[in-house]
Amino acid sequence: MINGELCIKVNGVKHWVRIAGAEHDTTPLIAIHGGPGGHQWILEQTGGKLLEEFATLVYYDQRGCGRSDPPADPGEYSIDILLDDLEEIRKALNVDKFIPLGHSFGGELALEYALKYPGCVEKIILEGPAIGDWDRLAINQIMSFISITDGEVQWKLRNLLQGGAPYTGRNGAAWGLVDEQTTMAFSFFKKGSYEKLVEISTDDAPRVGNEDMKEKIQEVPFSNLTGRIKAIESPVLVMTGLYDGNTGIDMARDVYRNLPNGEIEIFLESGHYIQMEEPEKMAEVVKEFMIK
């Protein structure tokens, strides 16, 4: 591998890819971002820089996200398509085995990839993983907002839980009810983290969000991912922030408890973005896991 940016066209879509730390010649970490509809910018500007000091790190933006092109058909999004995109990128990079580094929704994709292509995965690293249960995610996010609000806002948030299932999508309304300070407390533990996010959100930062992608992915029925991962034999590191209001520590715990060969690291001063709030510790934990 050679450091630098690439454009890799797979399944008719041009994907932005960047390689860093190639000089270390390690089993590549391929970073899989969250969302659906996120990108790699935050990792690149924060914890990723420390990982590049000892590991070969491959960043890529998923189809329709960040610096990658959208598919010609705005409905051409699914878990299977995203997994196939990743598999074709692996082939294009001429990599036999790699270590998926999945954040949030990217953690779900990393686990699904390991189930579909077990021979291509050496180890797996997850940061605040989602589990493909969109109702549970919605409830978790609404309850997290309730825990840090009061008065009329909290009452309105509680009302979002009334009326029975399905809950998927109600968390979108919750985000619309809270102010910037509450959003900061929901996503981060340290007060300076939100300022850091604003600092790196420069004019050249990629756009965030893809509603077409989000809508299609959330149509997927409950897939019992936490039950199915019992078949994963590769070593898995689960990292979770104690104050993660997004996917939450409970989802990380349930992933860990169902893994045959897993370990868990709880970051006591992080929310959903360990890569931003405790990058030095994250790098240490990842490095130790890679050399085991």
pLDDT single digits (tens) 192-202: 998 888 899 88
pLDDT tens column, 243-268? 999 999 999 999 999 999 999 999 99
Domain count, the chain: 2
| 241, two tokens | 């922030």
Whether 117 and 224 share a structural domain: yes
DSSP characters over 227-267:
HHGGG--S-EEEEEETT--SSHHHHHHHHHHT-TTEEEEEE
Domain that holds residue 150: 133-187
| Inside any domain, residue 249 | yes
In a domain, 195, yes or no: no
Establish how many alpha carbons lie within 13 A of residue 273's alpha carbon, considering only the half-sphere containing its beta carbon.
28
Angular region, 126: left φ>0, alpha ψ -120 to 50, beta rest: beta
Q: Is residue 17 part of a domain?
A: yes
Alpha-carbon dihedral angle through residues 284, 285, 288, 291, given to the nearest 10 degrees: -110
Q: Domain for residue 192, yes or no? A: no
Based on the domain organization, do 23 and 90 belong to the same domain? yes
Asked if residue 127 and residue 23 are part of one domain, the reply reads yes
135-182 pLDDT per residue, tens: 999 999 999 999 999 999 999 999 999 988 899 999 999 999 999 899
- Same domain, yes or no: 112 and 24: yes
Cα separation of 268 and 255, whole Å?
Answer: 19
Do 94 and 155 sit in the same domain of this protein?
A: no
> pLDDT at position 191, please?
86
Identify whether 194 is part of a domain. no
- 22 and 113 assigned to the same domain: yes
